[in-house]
Structures are given as structure tokens and as C-alpha cells.
Amino acid sequence: MHGRVRSQGSLRAARVCAAVLLLLAGVGCERGAPGDAPSPRADLPQRVISLNPSLTSMLIAIGADGLLVGVDSFSAQQQESVRALPQVGGLFDPNLEAVLSLTPDLVVLVPSVEQRGFRDRLAALDIAVGAYDPESYEEVAATLEALGQRVGRAGAAAARASEVRAMRAAVAAHTRDLPEATAVLVLQRDPLYVAGGGSFVDDMMRAAGVRNLGAELGDGWPSASREWLIAAAPKILVDTSRDPQPAAAFWRQWPSIPAVANGRVVTAVERDMTLPGPWLDRSLLYLLEALRPGERERFERAAGLPRTADGLPRTADGLPHSSDRRP
């Protein structure tokens, strides 16, 4: 599958995108671009509460974590750097009294069904709300930029968004002439939920040159039946569920699925793969490796991405992948 020789045109395109990545490598950093400290302007927030782990991660990535005075409990679980902050309820049941006690001048959230009503209650109390709902890969990058503008970190946010976009373009150019494969990414096993069309995961799968069969079920994270999965016959099954039973053992119950029969049930992906956070460029590289073994290393070497002393790859910003720093 991977022995097919790419055309000279595609190689040139990949090198151009790689050059873009290397150019951007000198721009971004995990805590924001140098000299882009939060502005003291009175119209910018100084006390921010985040009610979503993706938005919390974005604020941290652009160096605005010093503005955070409270987070939802899931953000605290996911992000060690904000674990000591006051928690203001769960992702789907934020506590209004806890939020008000922290006197925020901005609350950022994703307007889910549960949080839409909460947003209205905050607005009625004259508390500024930033509502962001990124679904596609591009929308995640755009949300980074919008959030950076809102909190006075426009430079750092723009740099990180540029790197996210550049990685997708570079990977897509690298895989353009590879034979197409089919895959399903499982979010939850029982009931079964998969990555659908229009999602950032769908965008990353397409960048890797893999057709996401879940897209035919609808956008977002649609539910699916076992019968559908068997009939879809994916060649690759990416299992990101948190079920304690090993994925290979679980899916062995359906040996007629090509991915199962050929040993292509994959679990070795980044743990934040299904969160639309600020490091989608890293997630894309992990997904590329999961979907096309060995292709990530070939891409990184062709792009000239630097590596650590022990051989671990680094991203365009020069930082190790988040999953390389697991506790």
C-alpha cells in the first residue's frame, strides 16, 4: 500500500508545505508568542472562567491561563495546570452561584443544549459570555483566533492557528497519491457512536487520505448500529473509547469486519484526539500513524521536523507531542 511512488508534483507540494511548517516553527510557542503579554486595556477581561476543556486548553496554549479564575470539573481533570483553580460544576451542569462568587468579567463556553440556558442566565446578570462552537478543523483554528482576540492574545493565537492549518495542508499534500483506505473512528462502543462528517476528526482522516465511512451517517458524532458497522466493512477501526476492555478483544466478537480480520483495530492514538483543542496539528500526526503505519515518520523526515535526543519527533513549534509527556 505504501510502496506507491508519489509524483514529482506531489513531492514538490509536500516540500512547499513542509517549508511553511518550518517557517512557522519560529513563530509559535506553548505559552504564547514573545512580547504578546495580555494587554492592560480596560475593555479586555482580567477574570475569566472556562466551562469547556477545549476552550481551557486553548487559553493555556496561547498564554492566557493567568486570566483564569475558575474552570469546569472536566477541564480540571484534563489540565494539570488549572487543577488548583476553583471548580464551578460539571461540563453539563455548571453552578451559577459558584460562577458568580468568582466575579468573572468573561465566561467562555460551548453553547450545548445544557449551556445555552446557562449563557442566557449569565447575560441577564450582565456577565460577558464568549460562546464558541468549533466543529470542523478550520473552525477550531478560527476559534483559536477569536478567543485570542477576546482576551488580548491575538498574536499567540494567530501563530498557533497558522501552525494548525499548515500541518493539515502539509499532511494532505504528503498523502495525496497514496491508495485510499476506509476507516471508522469509534468514540463510544455501547451504545455505538462514531465520528461523522463535518467534524475536525473527519477533516483529519481526509487529510491522511482515508475515507471516513461514518460520514454517511450524518455530521458530528452520530450513533450507529453493529449491523451498519459490519456492512460498512472498514479496513481500519480506530477505537478511542475509554472502555477498560482491550479494543482487540472487544471487536473480536465481529470477525467479519475487515479491520478485525486483518488486525487493523487501532487504539494507539493521542488521548485528546476527540477534543477540538489547540494542538490538532499534533493529533493529526498521531492519527496519521494510526491510519497509515510508518507514514508519520516518513512525513516528518521529509518535512525536516526536528527530533529529540532520544529520537522522539517534535512538532513544528519545537515542542514534544503532548502524548510523549504522559505522566
313 and 212 in a common domain? yes
- Residue 287 covered by a domain: yes
Residue 10 grid coordinates = 506531489
Which of 133, 153, 182 finishes a domain?
133
Tell me how crowded residue 83 is: count the other CB atoms within 10 A of its CB.
12
- Residue 30 covered by a domain: no
Query: Cell 482515508 belongs to which residue?
Result: 210
In sign, the C-alpha dihedral spanning 220, 95, 151, 23 is negative
Q: Is 57 helix (H, G, I), strand (E, B) or coil?
A: helix
Phi/psi at 184 (5° precision): -130, 130
Task: For 22-46, write each residue's pLDDT tens digit.
Answer: 433 333 333 444 445 444 566 899 9
Task: For 203-261, write each residue's pLDDT tens digit.
Answer: 999 999 999 999 999 999 999 999 999 999 999 999 999 888 999 999 999 999 999 99
184 and 312 in a common domain? yes
Which of 87, 112, 133 finishes a domain?
133
123 and 79 in a common domain? yes
291 and 218 in a common domain? yes
Which of 94, 112, 133 finishes a domain?
133
320 and 187 in a common domain? yes
The pTM (predicted TM-score) of the whole model is 0.80
Domain extent at residue 204: 8-22+162-325
CATH number at residue 93: 3.40.50.1980
- Residue 3 covered by a domain: no
Q: Over the chain, what is the mean pLDDT?
A: 83
Q: Is the pLDDT of residue 91 over 50?
A: yes
- Residue 31 covered by a domain: no
One-letter amino acid at 200 equals F
Note whether 269 and 287 are within 8 A (CB).
yes
103 and 171 in a common domain? no
What is the Cα–Cα distance from 142 to 147, expressed in whole angstroms? 9
Number of domains making up the chain: 2
180 and 54 in a common domain? no
121 and 76 in a common domain? yes
